[in-house]
Amino acid sequence: MPLKPFSIALAGNPNSGKTTIFNNLTGTRQKVGNWPGVTVAKKEGKIRHRGLDLIITDLPGTYSLTPFSIEEIVARNFILDEHPDVVIDIIDSSNLERSLYLATQLRELDCKVLFALNMTDLARSRGIKIDTDKLSELLAVPVVATVGNKNEGMDRLLEAAVGLAESETDTARRRRVKYSKDIEAAISELQQDLVRECAETVPYNPRWTAIKLLEDDKVVKERCVSVAADRGRALFEKTDHLRRRIMDLYADEPEIVMTDERYGFIAGIMREVQTNATYRRVDISRNIDLVLTNRFVGFPIFLFFIWAMFQSTFSVGEYPMQWIESGVGLVSKAIDALLPQSLLKDLVIDGIVAGVGSVIVFLPNIVILFFFIALFEDTGYMSRCAFLMDRIMHLIGLHGKSFIPMLMGFGCNVPAIMAARTLESEKDRILTILITPFMSCSARLPVYIVLAGTFFAGHAGSVIFAIYLLGIVMSILTGRLFRSTLLRGADAPFVMELPPYRVPMLKSLMIHMWDRSKMFLKKMGGVILVGSVVVWTLSAFPRTVSYDTDYAAAKREAIAAFDARIQAAAPDHRQRLEALKDESLAELERRQRFEKAEKSYMGMIGKTIAPVFAPLGIDWRASVALLTGFVAKEIVVSTMGVLYAVGDRSEGDVLQQALQESGMTPLSAFALMTFVLLYVPCIATVTTIRQETGSNGWMLFSVAYSTGLAWLAAFVIYQGGRLLGLG
Ligand code: GDP
Ligand code: MG
């Protein structure tokens, strides 16, 4: 004789994964229809499991079993009237507390309940730990952990369901909500009446019925009326009396008091069952945020952090910078000693070693800058920056979220522009892409370090900070301008996430820092090496033969003249004359190199474009340097190295000295830095802009706009400064 199939119902909150698990269990054997009389979908599936027939029903998703919504009534009636052998309560483990409300209500019903702790993957990833044994023990229910969308735990779930269906009911072991004394008294009084008066006619478990009557549950009341007829009247009078007493005692409706007490019960379970790794973190984070995102002090603190970042980038970086500098000097000297005088030697020393060397000394600064950016990201401070900037960003019609690409731009504009992809609105994205290049990337840092270090020695860090700030201001002004003209529209609404602060892991900091610094080193071997060679070639040619011979003649003459004087001089005078001779020869060589650079292709280019830059206080050599900066911003420094540093090769800070002697002033240096900050970003960034906006138009626009703005800003600074008598 075939056994009656087991009936298994799946209950649970909406989105707890019921349907997913239902599909996992039943596969294609599903029957989809409606629940009788209502438009709520009913899904049923018949399967065989170990020779047993199982009928599985997907109940509507509900948060409770109060008869307020059609879904709740359908789910409850199914359990009450169809008596499924097992009800599986699908629980969203990442939302245990909310799920337990339905669970405790199911526990009060006269049915066999089994918990499927679903979404355990989500819970784990959120740092939530649930003690399933404890939960099972506290509520006396079997508990099975599942991951619905990965089909994990389904066999164990069926196993447990069948086991529970086959087991004897063990009402004594059943744990359920225990209400406070007066309510329990009312429940048991009513329960006794129910059993005495109409036990045979009331179809449900008497305790549950008593509770529902006290809660004034319309459906249960009607049910009682229909079955208990006259005998029901006395029951209702009793119920009314008890309800009034509870209302007198608690000054609240019994259903509200009982709901509160259920939540109290759940809170107790939660405390025992769930340890929340994130709780403490969230609390600590909240406290930190009270300060760091405070309306008044948050912004000054943010500015301080950024200032401290540049200050230490500059000051801490100085020591390793000097070591690398002397290292480059040593390499240069060694090659000088090894190779015979030749064009190749010039190329290696003046082109490659000087070019690459003048940039590689900034590796420590760049590593430190990236360290800070990684630190901000890993601790969670980066999102606070976005949060703090939100109000300011709204001034330009952008959301604080746009500030993250901008902040990343401090590292490198290429990934920063790509990061704008997270913005949903097309206009927001294009606007963010257009203003991100004004965030001064790490490649521009060497230029500032050289110029600020030379002309603002004591305040280099602050001057660099000011330049970065200027970049931010320019991007804000630009954003505002474009928002009201080219890219009109409102900013898209966004939720600002504030993830909990984390203690940064040194290893992850190192990895982040190193990944980015590697890019810098790769650039060294690639574009900067090639750029240096090109710059050197353009500055070393054409080699006018007569010029070289002229120079050789001049040198010979000078040597002869000095030697004659030394011979004639008194012995104690000779040493001074020797020194004078060395100095004069060096000066001669300097002048020769300088003239050579001026007559080179580089010089020709520089002289051609110089008029454009003259009003900015930028001479022809810096103009050429700016031109080469299009390839990569670091090359600006190496070009300056080749064009300015025409003195003795072995000296330490040749470039600094040469710059000081070149007629550049603090004012013109600042104008130059401003120009470097704002003008066309490097070729990689420009390509990325085209790729991310999907249009040549925006790319060309960005190039023209930034370069135009750079010229204008540098002009205002230089000429304005001169009017004020600053330079
Ligand atoms: P229902 O409203 O209870 O029927 O929930 P669904 O079955 O429709 O599932 C809601 C969403 O949760 C779907 O996108 C599922 O893919 C997903 N989901 C189901 N179970 C899990 C799980 O264990 N882990 C995760 N991460 N997602 C799940
Ligand atoms: Mg569903």
For the segment 666-680, what is each residue's pLDDT rounded down to a tens digit? 999 999 999 999 999
Q: Whose CA is nearest to atom 25 of ligand 1?
A: 119
Looking at 75-79, 372-376, 414-418, 653-657, which range is the least confident one? Answer: 653-657
* Closest by Cα among 212, 239, 176, 226 to 66: 212
Q: Whose CA is nearest to atom 2 of ligand 1?
A: 15
The Cα-based distances of 557 to 87, 560, 563, 564, 647 in angstroms read 109, 5, 10, 11, 21
Q: Whose CA is nearest to atom 9 of ligand 1?
A: 17
Asked whether the beta carbons of 88 and 9 are under 8 A apart, the reply is yes
Q: How far apart are CA 4 and CA 717, in angstroms?
A: 91
Q: Calculate mean pLDDT across residues 337-350.
A: 83
Asked whether the beta carbons of 370 and 517 are under 8 A apart, the reply is yes
Is 87 within the bounds of a domain?
Answer: yes
Helix, strand or coil, per DSSP, at residue 266 = helix
Q: Do 147 and 195 belong together in one domain?
A: no
Q: Calculate mean pLDDT across residues 516-526.
A: 75
Is 380 within the bounds of a domain?
Answer: no
Q: Which residue reads 């970086």 in tokens?
A: 317
Looking at 254-258, 566-570, 616-620, which range is the least confident one? Answer: 566-570
Asked whether the beta carbons of 599 and 547 are under 8 A apart, the reply is yes
The Cα-based distances of 119 to 90, 95, 679 in angstroms read 9, 9, 51
CATH number at residue 59: 3.40.50.300
Q: How far apart are CA 683 and CA 662, in angstroms?
A: 29
Q: Name the pLDDT band for 100 (thresholds 50, 70, 90).
A: very high
- In this predicted model, what pLDDT tens digit does every residue of 469-503 receive, in sequence order? 999 899 888 988 898 888 887 655 556 667 778 78
Q: Calculate mean pLDDT across residues 556-580.
A: 83
pLDDT for the residue numbered 252: 85
Q: Do 104 and 230 belong together in one domain?
A: no
Model-wide pTM > 0.75:
no
Q: Calculate mean pLDDT across residues 244-252.
A: 88
pLDDT for the residue numbered 651: 45
**Boundary (domain end) residue, out of 141, 166, 191:** 166
What DSSP element (H or E) covers 330?
helix 318-338
Q: How far apart are CA 615 and CA 624, in angstroms?
A: 15
**Boundary (domain end) residue, out of 121, 140, 166:** 166
Total tally of structural domains belonging to the chain: 3
Burial class (CB in 10 A: 0-12, 13-18, 19+), 33: exposed
Ligand 2 midpoint to CA 19 (Å) = 4
Question: Domain containing 267: what range?
Answer: 181-276
Asked whether the beta carbons of 110 and 205 are under 8 A apart, the reply is yes
Q: Do 21 and 77 belong together in one domain?
A: yes
Q: How far apart are CA 417 and CA 429, in angstroms?
A: 9
Q: Calculate mean pLDDT across residues 173-189.
A: 82
Distance of CA 60 to the CA centre of its chain: 38
Ligand 1 midpoint to CA 118 (Å) = 8
State what percent of residues in the chain have pLDDT above 90: 22
Q: Name the pLDDT band for 594 (thresholds 50, 70, 90).
A: confident
Is 643 within the bounds of a domain?
Answer: yes
Q: Do 83 and 188 belong together in one domain?
A: no
Q: Do 15 and 106 belong together in one domain?
A: yes
Q: Do 137 and 269 belong together in one domain?
A: no
Looking at 162-176, 619-633, 649-663, which range is the least confident one? Answer: 649-663
648 has pLDDT over 50 = no
Q: How far apart are CA 274 and CA 277, in angstroms?
A: 9
* Closest by Cα among 346, 591, 613, 325 to 446: 325
Closest atom of ligand 1 to 147 CA is 23
Is 626 within the bounds of a domain?
Answer: yes
pLDDT for the residue numbered 546: 59
CA angle 482, 486, 488 (to 5 degrees): 85
pLDDT for the residue numbered 548: 65
* 254-271: b (≥16 Cβ within 10 Å) or e: bbebbbebbbebbeebbe
Q: Do 154 and 194 belong together in one domain?
A: no
Q: Do 68 and 142 belong together in one domain?
A: yes
Q: How far apart are CA 233 and CA 365, in angstroms?
A: 87
Tell me which ligand sits closest to the C-alpha of residue 17: 1
Among 9-13, 348-352, 512-516, which range has the highest average pLDDT? 9-13
Closest atom of ligand 1 to 18 CA is 3
Contacts of 19 (CB under 8 A, 6+ apart): 43, 58
Q: Name the pLDDT band for 172 (thresholds 50, 70, 90).
A: very low
- In this predicted model, what pLDDT tens digit does every residue of 319-331 receive, in sequence order? 888 888 888 888 8
* Greatest Cα-to-Cα distance within the chain, rounded to the nearest angstrom: 144
Is 69 within the bounds of a domain?
Answer: yes
Among 56-70, 441-455, 624-638, 709-723, which range has the highest average pLDDT? 709-723
Q: Within a 10 A sphere around the Cβ of 599, how many other Cβ atoms?
A: 17
Is 428 within the bounds of a domain?
Answer: no
Q: Do 162 and 228 belong together in one domain?
A: no
Closest atom of ligand 1 to 58 CA is 4
Phi, psi angles (nearest 5°) of residue 261: -70, -35
CATH number at residue 237: 1.10.287.1770
Q: Do 30 and 144 belong together in one domain?
A: yes
Sign for the CA dihedral angle at 282, 286, 287, 293 comes to positive
Phi, psi angles (nearest 5°) of residue 179: -90, 175
Q: Calculate mean pLDDT across residues 365-394.
A: 82
Q: Which of 149, 152, 154 to mutate to test the pocket of ligand 1 (most atoms within 8 A of CB)?
A: 149
**Boundary (domain end) residue, out of 240, 257, 276:** 276
pLDDT for the residue numbered 310: 73
Q: Calculate mean pLDDT across residues 442-447.
A: 86
pLDDT for the residue numbered 50: 84
Ligand 2 midpoint to CA 118 (Å) = 14
Tell me which ligand sits closest to the C-alpha of residue 125: 1
Ligand 1 midpoint to CA 19 (Å) = 7
Q: Do 109 and 240 belong together in one domain?
A: no
Q: Which two tokens stand for residue 561?
A: 């003249």
Average pLDDT of the chain, as a whole number = 83
Is 334 within the bounds of a domain?
Answer: no
Ligand 1 midpoint to CA 66 (Å) = 24
pLDDT for the residue numbered 713: 95
pLDDT for the residue numbered 1: 40
Sign for the CA dihedral angle at 631, 637, 642, 643 comes to positive
Distance of CA 630 to the CA centre of its chain: 29
Q: Do 187 and 237 belong together in one domain?
A: yes
Asked whether the beta carbons of 120 and 145 are under 8 A apart, the reply is yes
Q: Residues in the chain, how many?
A: 727
State what percent of residues in the chain have pLDDT above 70: 92
Among 535-544, 691-700, 709-718, which range has the highest average pLDDT? 709-718
Closest atom of ligand 1 to 120 CA is 23
Ligand 1 midpoint to CA 303 (Å) = 44
102 has pLDDT over 50 = yes
pLDDT for the residue numbered 649: 45
580 has pLDDT over 80 = yes
pLDDT for the residue numbered 117: 95
Ramachandran assignment for 60, one of left (phi > 0), alpha (psi -120 to 50 degrees), beta (any other)? beta
Closest atom of ligand 1 to 146 CA is 23
Distance of CA 20 to the CA centre of its chain: 32
Q: Which residue reads 């707890």 in tokens?
A: 16
Q: Which of 10, 15, 63, 93 to mutate to test the pocket of ligand 1 (most atoms within 8 A of CB)?
A: 15
Is 185 within the bounds of a domain?
Answer: yes
As for ligand 1, residues whose beta carbon falls within 6 Å of it are: 12, 14-20, 61, 118-119, 121-122, 147-149
Find the DSSP H helices in 69-173.
70-82, 96-108, 120-125, 132-139, 154-166
Ligand 2 midpoint to CA 17 (Å) = 7
